[in-house]
């Protein structure tokens, strides 16, 4: 288990991370969200000992992380970087050896990973010939080829098209199933919602939200209502009790409610003539919560 | 060396040694030597036999004595014993000379295209034959003849307060050597400082440094790169040593080597080993300095800016070495500088070769350079660790000073 306790870091007068605490158990995924400069990368850098924390502790199975243990952390940095003039194979083998793998094993695993992540290219291709997406996949392979038990992924989906993002998501889910402890940061809330067990939202280094993803969403109440009722106009919805905002969405309307209970009355009203195609009352999305929280803490 | 360090060293070494640029770098200084050697061998192989053919028109015992000494005189005595025929052969250039000996006098006739005939050696032999004949005439004993033929013994000693045993010629070679070592060290330092600088700058600018440091440690990266680049230097020196040894062996067989040998008396194996050690230690020190400054760059475009202070520093001993080859190496400033780490490598070998410094003084200079290297490695690691993940917009010199002076904090990118 990874345990972070009361972590603090400041650069001069700027408080980058303030009193951050969390745990990650085997087979668990923790999503770290926040605006740029919220303290996500600084947190990762402290775990990897690139920078020292001013205060607080970082342990792995209740022991401080040693250099040997750190060698077993898989890390995908936010700023991608590869040796452009080297072949995929040389590069991957070099990094895998540094992580303690032997050459033959790394060569074999590389081929499996190239297939799994659907990389367009051969092991003997130079990195500079790869597309951005494929180079990113190579970077992901560097982080995962040695089967790490603890994985840190800084913005793994940035720059990827939906197909490749889905491949990365599937990979993360598989690693989770295999018992890896995963922490990742992302600006894509849909991805965070889909793969995270727990979530931490940082704002200027401070923790503004923390907990299980669904519980966080539920804590804001089911105030988001999607309705498809053919006889109702936006003005009809706006006139209903408890409706704060009406937005046209696809074949229906998205209503933002003042409280969860308002949904019951609206349901009775729109179904008084019988069947309607859609009525879905949900908690706010993570993206909506993110926006709200960011604005609340401005 | 731990495993990760050796992996980094191997990677650095292998990556560079596979590049054509490294081999060009290595072969460029060898090219003139190789071309010269090939041309020399070709000239030697295709040149005519330089033994002079001469006809000897002389009493039989003289003729036989000359024939007996053919090898030492570098001559071949022709069968021609008729003076007119011999003169005609000389005109036709079929022989190189005609030696006519009558009583106590002799004449050597040659033609413009004749092979060289060493008249001094020939004259010595003829004098000996004449003395022997006269000894017989005056009925001298064998001991008296021997005594007559014993040359006057003259011992030449050069009085030199630096106890130099070398000739002017050897001193000239040493002076040239002073300059050559200075130039060579400057070139080596510049090349390898640039290689390690580019390695680190490339990793920083391509942002692969975080990936590398997550897999290993700053210490493994820092020492591994220095060892890898030092390995390249050793490869280059090793190849030069092999080529040099082959060249020396081939040269020693050449007839002109004997005349060259006195000039090379200063280049003893001890001198070469000392110079090599000094160059290795000093180049390693410059590698450390380059690693530190390269760790401050943000991208490749800043590498020349980062390398400028290193080049300037290496230029000082280079200029001193050049100037000390034309002025006296006993200048106090030059002598003091020969003990200063990062400076001594270009100066002390020539001080030693010119007997301006003793082996003890040279060893002290070497030990000081080694101590400086150990200290640089230690403090360099701290600076490398501090800078390698920092991307600052500040001037590199300012960053370097901020790193050395702990009370001054520099801005971090993140």
pLDDT tens, residue by residue, B327-355: 555 678 888 888 888 888 878 887 777 77
Nearest-Cα distance to chain B for A95, in Å, is: 7
Nearest CA in chain A to B199: A83
Looking at chain B, the whole-number percentage of residues with pLDDT higher than 70 is 80
Q: Which range is least confidently modeled, A41-55, B70-84, B241-255?
A: B241-255
**Which residues of chain A make contact with B7, given a CB cutoff of 8 A?**
94, 97-98
Asked whether the beta carbons of A86 and B203 are under 8 A apart, the reply is no
Task: Please say if the pLDDT value at position A295 is more than 50.
Answer: yes
Could you tell me which residues come within 8 angstroms of residue B298 by beta carbon, excluding any fewer than 6 positions away? Answer: B204, B205, B391, B392, B393
Give chain B's mean pLDDT.
79
Residue from A97, A127, A136, A185 to probe the interface with B (highest B Cβ count within 10 Å): A97
Q: What is the pLDDT averaged over residues B213-224? A: 92
Question: Which residue has better confidence, B406 or A261?
Answer: A261
Q: In the prediction, which pLDDT does B413 show?
A: 44
Helix/strand/coil for A183: strand
* B2 touching chain A per CB within 8 A: no
Q: How many other CB atoms are there within 10 angstroms of residue B206's CB atom?
A: 19
CA-angle at B362, arms to B356 and B365, nearest 5°: 120
Tell me which residue of A67, A64, A38 sits closest to A50, measured CA to CA.
Answer: A67
Q: Do B212 and A98 touch (CB under 8 A)?
A: yes
Q: What is the pLDDT averaged over residues B52-63? A: 85
Fill in the DSSP letter of residue A37.
T
d(CA B237, CA B352): 21
What are the angstrom distances between the C-alpha of B383 and each of A211, B188, B291? 40, 24, 9
The token duo for A206 is: 């401070």
Question: Which residue has better confidence, B251 or B318?
Answer: B318
Nearest-Cα distance to chain B for A252, in Å, is: 45
Q: In the prediction, which pLDDT does B352 show?
A: 79
d(CA A7, CA A17): 7
Nearest CA in chain B to A10: B414
Q: Do B211 and A77 touch (CB under 8 A)?
A: yes
What are the angstrom distances between the C-alpha of B110 and each of B56, B87, B96, B97, B366? 12, 10, 6, 4, 59
Residue from A67, A81, A102 to probe the interface with B (highest B Cβ count within 10 Å): A81
Task: Please say if the pLDDT value at position B245 is more than 60.
Answer: yes
Q: Do A98 and B215 touch (CB under 8 A)?
A: yes
Nearest-Cα distance to chain A for B277, in Å, is: 31
Task: Please say if the pLDDT value at position B165 is more than 60.
Answer: no
Q: In the prediction, which pLDDT does B41 show?
A: 67
Cα Rg, chain A, nearest whole Å: 23
Q: How many other CB atoms are there within 10 angstroms of residue B126's CB atom?
A: 20
Q: In the prediction, which pLDDT does B408 show?
A: 47
**Which residues of chain A make contact with B202, given a CB cutoff of 8 A?**
83
Sheet holding A14-24, edge to edge: A14-24, A2-11, A55-60, A63-64
Looking at chain B, the whole-number percentage of residues with pLDDT higher than 90 is 12
Task: Please say if the pLDDT value at position B414 is more than 60.
Answer: no
Q: Do A67 and B217 touch (CB under 8 A)?
A: yes
Q: In the prediction, which pLDDT does B88 show?
A: 86
Question: Which residue has better confidence, A89 or A296?
Answer: A89
Quickly tell me which residue has 């800078």 as its tokens: B387
Instruction: Measure the CA dihedral A230/A218/A44/A34, to 10°.
Output: 50
Q: Can you list the domains of chain B with their CATH numbers?
A: 2-26+166-404 (no CATH), 54-114+118-149 (3.40.190)
Task: Please say if the pLDDT value at position B92 is more than 60.
Answer: yes
Question: Which residue has better confidence, A227 or B298?
Answer: A227
Q: Do A98 and B7 touch (CB under 8 A)?
A: yes
Q: Which of B203, B210, B220 sits opposite A77 (nearest CB)?
A: B210
The token duo for B188 is: 């080596």
The number of angstroms, rounded, from the C-alpha of A183 to the middle of its chain's C-alpha atoms is 8
The token duo for A249 is: 């969405």
Asked whether the beta carbons of A50 and A103 are under 8 A apart, the reply is no
Q: In the prediction, which pLDDT does A9 show?
A: 94
Q: What is the pLDDT averaged over residues B85-101? A: 85
**Is residue B182 within a helix (H) or strand (E), and if so which, with residue range?**
helix B168-205
Q: In the prediction, which pLDDT does B330 show?
A: 66
Helix/strand/coil for B145: helix
**Which residues of chain B make contact with A98, given a CB cutoff of 8 A?**
4, 7-8, 212, 215-216, 220
Ranked by mean pLDDT, which of A11-20, A175-184, B82-91, B261-270 comes out on top?
A175-184
Q: In the prediction, which pLDDT does A181 show?
A: 96
Q: In the prediction, which pLDDT does B137 show?
A: 81
Task: Please say if the pLDDT value at position B67 is more than 90.
Answer: no
Provide the whole-model pTM.
Answer: 0.74
The pLDDT confidence band at residue B372, using thresholds 50, 70 and 90, is very high
Cα Rg, chain B, nearest whole Å: 32
Ranked by mean pLDDT, which of A106-110, B76-80, B157-161, B204-208 comes out on top?
A106-110
**Which residues of chain B make contact with A86, given a CB cutoff of 8 A?**
15
How many CA atoms lie less than 13 Å away from A178 in the CB half-sphere? Answer: 14
The pLDDT tens digits for A258-283 are: 999 999 999 999 999 899 999 999 99
Separate counts of helices (H) and strands (E) for chain B: 18, 4
The pLDDT tens digits for A58-72 are: 999 999 998 888 889
Q: Do A45 and B206 touch (CB under 8 A)?
A: no
Q: In the prediction, which pLDDT does B306 show?
A: 81
Q: In the prediction, which pLDDT does B262 show?
A: 62
Ranked by mean pLDDT, which of A286-290, B62-66, B93-97, B221-225 comes out on top?
B221-225
Handedness of CA B84, B86, B89, B93 (dihedral sign): negative
Q: What is the largest CA-CA distance in chain A?
A: 71
**Which residues of chain A make contact with B8, given a CB cutoff of 8 A?**
98
The pLDDT tens digits for A82-130 are: 988 899 999 999 999 999 999 999 999 999 999 999 999 899 999 989 9
Q: Are strands A243-249 and A252-257 parallel, antiparallel or unpaired?
A: antiparallel
The pLDDT confidence band at residue B43, using thresholds 50, 70 and 90, is low
**Which residues of chain B make contact with A83, given a CB cutoff of 8 A?**
202-203, 206, 208
ipTM of the predicted structure?
0.84
Handedness of CA B80, B83, B84, B88 (dihedral sign): positive
Q: How many other CB atoms are there within 10 angstroms of residue A288's CB atom?
A: 16
Q: In the prediction, which pLDDT does B259 show?
A: 62
Q: Do A11 and B412 touch (CB under 8 A)?
A: yes
Q: What is the pLDDT averaged over residues A220-227? A: 92
Q: In the prediction, which pLDDT does B278 show?
A: 85
Q: In the prediction, which pLDDT does B169 show?
A: 59
- Please, which residues bridge with residue A75 across strands? A152
Task: Please say if the pLDDT value at position B172 is more than 70.
Answer: no
């Amino acid at each position: 288990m990874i345990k972070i306790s009361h972590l603090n870091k400041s650069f001069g007068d700027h408080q980058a991370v303030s009193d951050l605490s969390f745990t990650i158990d085997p087979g668990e995924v923790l999503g770290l969200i926040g605006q740029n400069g919220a303290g996500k990368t600084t947190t990762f850098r402290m775990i990897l000992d690139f920078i020292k924390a001013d205060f607080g502790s970082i342990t792995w199975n209740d022991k401080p992380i040693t250099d040997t243990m750190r060698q077993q952390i898989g890390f995908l940095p936010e700023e991608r970087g590869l040796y452009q003039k080297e072949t995929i194979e040389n590069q991957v083998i070099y990094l895998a050896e540094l992580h303690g793998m032997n050459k033959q094993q790394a060569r074999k695993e590389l081929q499996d990973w190239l297939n799994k992540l659907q990389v367009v290219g051969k092991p003997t291709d130079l990195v500079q010939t790869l597309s951005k997406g494929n180079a990113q996949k190579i970077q992901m392979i560097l982080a995962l080829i040695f089967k790490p038990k603890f994985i840190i992924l800084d913005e793994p989906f940035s720059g990827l098209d939906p197909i490749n993002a889905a491949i990365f998501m599937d990979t993360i889910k598989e690693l989770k199933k295999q018992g890896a402890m995963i922490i990742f940061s992302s600006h894509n809330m849909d991805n965070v919602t889909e793969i995270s067990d727990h979530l931490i939202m940082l704002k200027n280094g401070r923790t503004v939200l923390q907990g299980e993803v669904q519980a966080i969403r539920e804590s804001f109440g089911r105030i988001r209502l999607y309705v498809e009722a053919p006889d109702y106009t936006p003005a009809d919805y706006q006139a209903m009790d408890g409706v704060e905002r009406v937005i046209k969405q696809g074949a229906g309307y998205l209503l933002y409610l003042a409280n969860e209970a308002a949904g019951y009355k609206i349901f009775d009203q729109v179904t008084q003539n019988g069947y309607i195609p859609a009525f879905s009352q949900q908690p706010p999305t993570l993206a909506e919560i993110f926006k709200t929280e960011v604005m609340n803490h401005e | 060396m731990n495993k990760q360090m050796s992996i980094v060293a191997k990677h650095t070494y292998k990556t560079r040694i596979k590049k054509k640029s490294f081999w060009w770098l290595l072969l460029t200084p060898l090219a003139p030597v190789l071309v010269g050697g090939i041309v020399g061998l070709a000239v030697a192989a295709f040149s005519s036999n330089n033994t002079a053919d001469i006809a000897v028109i002389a009493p039989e015992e003289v003729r036989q004595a000359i024939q007996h000494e053919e090898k030492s005189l570098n001559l071949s005595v022709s069968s021609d014993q008729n003076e007119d025929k011999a003169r005609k052969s000389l005109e036709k250039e079929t022989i190189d000379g005609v030696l006519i000996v009558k009583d106590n006098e002799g004449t050597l006739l040659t033609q413009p295209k004749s092979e060289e005939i060493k008249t001094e050696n020939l004259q010595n032999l003829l004098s000996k034959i004449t003395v022997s004949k006269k000894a017989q005439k005056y009925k001298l004993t064998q001991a008296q003849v021997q005594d007559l033929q014993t040359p006057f013994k003259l011992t030449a000693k050069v009085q030199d307060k630096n106890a130099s045993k070398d000739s002017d010629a050897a001193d000239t070679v040493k002076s040239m050597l002073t300059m050559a070592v200075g130039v060579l060290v400057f070139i080596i330092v510049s090349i390898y400082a640039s290689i390690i600088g580019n390695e680190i700058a490339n990793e920083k600018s391509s942002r692969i440094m975080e990936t590398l440091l997550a897999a290993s440690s700053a210490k493994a990266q820092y020492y591994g790169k220095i060892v890898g680049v030092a390995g390249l230097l050793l490869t280059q020196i090793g190849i030069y040593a092999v080529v040099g040894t082959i060249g020396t062996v081939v040269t020693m067989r050449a007839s002109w080597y004997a005349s060259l040998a006195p000039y090379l008396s200063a280049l003893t194996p001890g001198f070469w080993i000392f110079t090599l050690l000094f160059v290795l230690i000093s180049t390693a020190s410059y590698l450390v300095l380059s690693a530190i400054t390269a760790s401050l760059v943000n991208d490749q475009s800043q590498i020349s800016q980062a390398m400028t202070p290193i080049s300037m520093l290496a230029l000082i001993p280079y200029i001193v070495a050049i100037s000390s080859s034309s002025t006296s190496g006993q200048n106090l400033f030059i002598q003091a500088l020969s003990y200063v780490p990062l400076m001594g490598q270009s100066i002390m070998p020539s001080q030693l070769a010119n007997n301006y410094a003793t082996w003890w003084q040279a060893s002290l200079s070497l030990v000081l350079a080694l101590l400086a290297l150990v200290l640089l490695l230690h403090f360099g690691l701290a600076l490398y660790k501090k800078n390698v993940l920092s991307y600052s917009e500040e001037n590199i010199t300012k960053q370097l000073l901020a790193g050395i002076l702990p009370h001054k904090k520099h801005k971090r990118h993140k």
